[in-house]
Amino acid sequence: MFTEHGLWFKLVLIYGAEVLVDERSRHNCFTLLPRGLHITWSEDPQYWTWQPLKDGDETETEAAALRNVCWLEVIGKQELSHLTPGVTYEAVLEAMLTDPAYGWSTPVNLRLKLPDGTTQEHKESLEGKPRGQWLRLKVGEVTPRKGQSGEAEVSLFEYEGGQWKRGLLVKGIKIVPKE
């Protein structure tokens, strides 16, 4: 068990996700780890590699390190029935740009797709973002209802610009109560 900035208690690591409880509100939270995400071409070291990371509490995790792709696609899924009903959650992709980084002049797409088919989608430019710092890219928000089931799909993608991209670390997707 650990505390991250005094906010979280780690419960269990299952199926590529960390299950957390917010210490103040007691609401469920999730971190979808990179090995539990669908990352197109991640099994080919020509395009992606796996880089060990140390979290603040010295827990070792991994990040997916982008070597070179022109078809960028990262998808995570979260079962809504595991979230606390009535609580508004934010879906945030945690990533870092590293040097050398290129191919980011075309904005990436961030999308949250809910089981009823509704989507929240926007573009975000990574080109001017700082290098070597974790970025919290807000994808969208969801407020699950009691008894609601089905998966919310969280994604980052860009494949229409045709540019080769390099220099992105993906730490995971956090599903946390909105503050």
Per domain, the residue ranges of the chain are 8-177
Residues 6+ apart with CB under 8 A from 75: 37, 38, 39, 153, 154, 155, 157
Question: How high is the pLDDT of residue 2?
Answer: 39
The closest alpha carbon to 105, from 38, 162, 172, belongs to 162
Task: Decide yes or no: CATH 2.60.120.260 for domain 8-177.
Answer: yes
Token readout for 173 is 């997707």
Question: How high is the pLDDT of residue 58?
Answer: 61
Task: Count other C-beta atoms under 10 Å from residue 46's C-beta.
Answer: 9
pLDDT in tens, the chain (179 residues): 334 444 444 444 555 677 777 677 778 888 999 999 999 999 999 999 999 987 666 667 899 999 999 999 999 999 999 999 999 999 999 999 999 999 999 999 999 999 999 999 999 999 999 999 999 999 999 999 999 999 999 999 999 988 999 999 999 999 999 98
The helix/strand/coil state of 148 is coil
Residues 6+ apart with CB under 8 A from 58: none
